[in-house]
Amino acid sequence: MASEPMPALENRRVPASAPQALAVEQSPALLRRLLRAKDRMDALSHEAWPVRRLAQVSGVSEAHFARAFRQAFGIPPHRYLLTRRIEQATTLLRDTTLSITEIAFATGWESLGTFGRTFRDITGTSPGALRRDARATEHAVDRVPVCFLKAAQRPDLLTAVSEKLRRATAGTNGPSTKEM
- Is-contact 150 87, C-beta < 8 A? yes
Q: How is the chain split into domains, by residue range?
A: 26-74, 79-170
pLDDT of residue 161: 62
For the chain, what is the largest distance between any 2 Cα atoms, rounded to a whole number of angstroms?
74
89 closest CA partner among 52, 114, 53: 114
Over range 44-58, report the average pLDDT: 92
Fold designation for 79-170: Arc Repressor Mutant, subunit A (1.10.10)
151 closest CA partner among 92, 97, 91: 91
Over range 26-44, report the average pLDDT: 92
pLDDT at 138 > cutoff 80: no
Q: Which residues of 89-109 are buried (b: 16+ CB within 10 A; e: fewer)?
A: bbbbbbeeeeebeebbbebbb
pLDDT tens sequence across 8-29:
433 344 444 444 443 467 889 9
pTM score, whole prediction: 0.63
pLDDT tens sequence across 125-137:
999 999 999 888 7
Q: What is the DSSP string of 114-148?
A: HHHHHHHHHHSS-HHHHHHHHHHTGGGGTTS-HHH
Would you give the DSSP letter of residue 171? T
pLDDT over 70, % of the chain: 71
Q: What is the DSSP string of 64-125?
A: HHHHHHHHHHSS-HHHHHHHHHHHHHHHHHHH----HHHHHHHTT-S-HHHHHHHHHHHHSS
